[in-house]
Structure 1
Amino acid sequence: MRYFTVKEANSILPQIKLLVDEIKEKREKLYKSIDSYEEELEGNNDELEIMFLKTEINEANEEINELIEIIESFGAVVKGIDPFLVDFPALYKGEEIYLCWQEGEDKIEYWHKVSEGFAGRKHVSLLQEQPEEKNRTGI
């Protein structure tokens, strides 16, 4: 497993943001297709339209999953798609933590312990530099 410093995570964030923008477009298409599918099931029950919408939903899911795989190929971990959450594994005082980014944020500003999840996010300023780990946390 690759461990990131804050600087390293921030350096690949622009590439990840581009992929997330693409995912957001596909996510909206997916939601519209799901809404149309549900309306069709409740309404006319046009089998051809239902098959078409199922295909659209499956294609959008596949496209989103392919983009998620690209993001994860950087070594990041995708934790959610609405809102889009990405964690970057890091080490702090010998413990594995996640540097955390959420869609809409400009840069990596938060971290949390693996066991805490998103609800345990803390600002990166709380990570105190340890001389032996300076190259690991980037703080």
Structure 2
Amino acid sequence: MARIFTVDEARSLMPAVLEHARAFVAVRADLAELTHDLRHSGASPLGGVPEAKGLEARMDEILSWFDAEDIEIKGVAPLLVDFPAVLGEVSVRLCWLEGETALGWYHRSDLGFPGRRALP
């Protein structure tokens, strides 16, 4: 069974979420630049195919941290993660989107991102 977070538990993980998110965003940007350069000019200051493979592996490693914490990855560009939770007997996802500095949103599990609301 998947972990169910309280708001306090999810918020206590936010420093680590932000740290892993910063690392992921940096690697994602490097991989995008390297891939673009290799496709268009055959060379990149960031390296070649081995470096691209290394960046892909690093992205997988970072994302595996979220999985290990039972945090759901909903998107990678932008990075979007959900913490399964229950608010008032309703199944919800506490929702964090890349660029936000704190956990302040949720949505019903059956509605997804379009149903996003500010946490009370």
| Same fold, TM-score > 0.5, yes or no | yes
Cα shift at 1:117: 1.7
1:63 aligns with 2:58: yes
- Which residue pairs with 2:11 in the alignment? 10
With normalisation by structure 2, the TM-score equals 0.86
Q: Distance in 2 between matches of 1:102 and 1:68?
A: 15
Structure 2 segments unaligned to the other structure (5+ residues): none
Q: Distance in 1 between matches of 2:26 and 2:88?
A: 39
Runs of 4+ in 1 over 6 A off after TM superposition: none
CA contact (8 A) 1:36 1:53 kept: no
Is the helix fraction higher in 1 or 2?
1
- Which residue pairs with 2:112 in the alignment? 117
Q: Which one scores higher on RCO, CA 8 angstroms, separation ≥ 6?
A: 1
After superposition, give the CA deviation of every residue in 1:59-93 in whole Å (9 maximum; x if it has no partner).
Answer: 21111111111122112111112211110000134
Q: CA RMSD in A?
A: 1.9
Q: How does 1:1-139 map to 2 (within 5 A)?
A: 1-40=2-41, 53-125=48-120
Q: How many residues align structurally?
A: 117
Cα shift at 1:103: 1.7
Q: Distance in 1 between matches of 2:3 and 2:51?
A: 35
Q: Distance in 2 between matches of 1:54 and 1:119?
A: 38
CA contact (8 A) 1:90 1:99 kept: yes
Q: Distance in 2 between matches of 1:122 and 1:14?
A: 22
Cα shift at 1:118: 1.5
Q: Distance in 2 between matches of 1:30 and 1:119?
A: 29
Structure 2 letter corresponding to 1:94 = E
